[in-house]
Amino acid sequence: MGKSVVVATSGGVDSAVTALLLKEAGYDAVCVTFRLHDGEPGSRSCCSPDTVLFARDTAHKMGLPHFTLDLKRLFDRRVMQDFVGSYAAGSTPNPCVSCNAHVKFHAASFLADRLGFDHVATGHYARVAEVDGRATLARAADAAKDQTYVLWPVPQELLARTVFPLGEYHKEEIRGIAADRGLAVAKTPESQDICFIPDGDYRGFVRREVEPEPGELVDGEGRVLGEHSGVVDYTVGQRRGIGVSAPAPLYVTEVRPQANQVVVGRKKDLLTDEVRVGGLNWFLDPGASESVQVRYNSEPVPCEVVPAEESGEWVARLAEPVSGVAPGQSAVFYTGDGQKVVGGGVVARRG
């Protein structure tokens, strides 16, 4: 393939240095920033209007052309509405995963095709590896910044044309490169966890879209312990804000939107040694899976992966119990060395 690339830039240091590194490596590079939401006046959250302007100025200072794509309607439908709907359905969504699955990589590839360019690139800390002629994800050199967990839904045909320059670097090196080249992004703070909720109040965001209905707070045997404020306020593993006093701490163990119930129990009730996964995207043969990661900041756990009776679902049988697995989270499978992604999907349920 040639050396032309469309770089998705978000106004932060990682994506800016990605573009710079590719330019210095001899790529014919252009930058694109996606207008995803309106944000708040003065907001520098990812892909808000002010951030788009900052990303454009940064690209121009690096001598690179810059494009802006207005994807607000797509982002609202495939990420923000999914976010709200997931909480209403008792699931715990990851909007970054949804954005990678439905928005960012497809949009960058669309522009690359329109321009006749070969590759796309983002500022993620990951690598692309080839196994038996098939592209898959490989962990970044900086294990603390590795982002393969949120990239599992990228279609293999898009991953095969993707470049991740930061996969070979550590974060402090990237900031050093930006400072050395005189880029204003060198000291920008880390991006928000949820770009369209800059204040971090996701419950308030969901409540503005869904009118919560109080219901029963029950234990595992169905005994009513109190009343909850609405299922959208609760996620599996939650301890704070349950509103019931007990001799030992209580945790949310299940959310039942159909019955309008929130189930609580002891910490041990959160443990599971089996996870059912649907909506899978396999890069390699499922039989290559030897471990699974079920939360962004957790370590992979050795497992055996087998097809479920239900069509399209798989079951991960864990070598040791893990806590707090919630429907809607991602389950990402890795090879025996823990370095390459076999595939990933969405947790349907535990046990």
In CATH, the number for domain 4-187 is: 3.40.50.620
- For residue 192, the model assigns a pLDDT of 61
Q: Given this model, what pLDDT does residue 312 score?
A: 83
CATH code of domain 212-265 = 2.30.30.280
Q: Please, are residues 28 and 117 in contact by the beta-carbon 8 Å criterion?
A: yes
Question: Binning pLDDT at 50, 70 and 90, where does residue 43 land?
Answer: very low
CB within 8 A of 276, min separation 6: which ones? 308, 313, 314, 315, 316, 347, 348, 349, 350
- Tens of pLDDT, residues 200-223: 899 899 999 998 899 999 999 999
CATH topology of domain 270-350: Elongation Factor Tu (Ef-tu); domain 3 (2.40.30)
Active site residues: 99, 195
Average pLDDT over residues 127-151: 96
In this predicted model, what pLDDT tens digit does every residue of 85-125 receive, in sequence order? Answer: 999 999 999 999 999 999 999 999 999 999 999 999 999 99
Mean pLDDT of the 141-165 span: 97
User: Among candidates 75, 96, 68, 99, which has minimal Cα distance to 6?
Assistant: 68
Percent of the chain with pLDDT over 70: 95
Mean pLDDT, residues 298-320 taken together: 92
pLDDT at 42 over 50: no
Element at 327 (helix H, strand E): none
Place 9 in a pLDDT band, splitting at 50, 70 and 90. very high
* Residues 6 or more apart whose Cβ sits within 8 Å of residue 116: 4
Q: What is the mean pLDDT of residues 73-88?
A: 95
Domain boundaries, the chain: 4-187, 212-265, 270-350
Of the pLDDT bands very low, low, confident and very high (cuts 50, 70, 90), residue 38 is confident
d(CA 184, CA 16): 10
The position carrying tokens 């996969």 is 167
Residue type, 209: E
Residue 142 pLDDT greater than 70, yes or no: yes
pLDDT score, position 49: 66
Query: Within its chain, how far is the Cα of 312 from the centroid?
Result: 22
Tell me what the pLDDT averaged over the chain comes to: 93
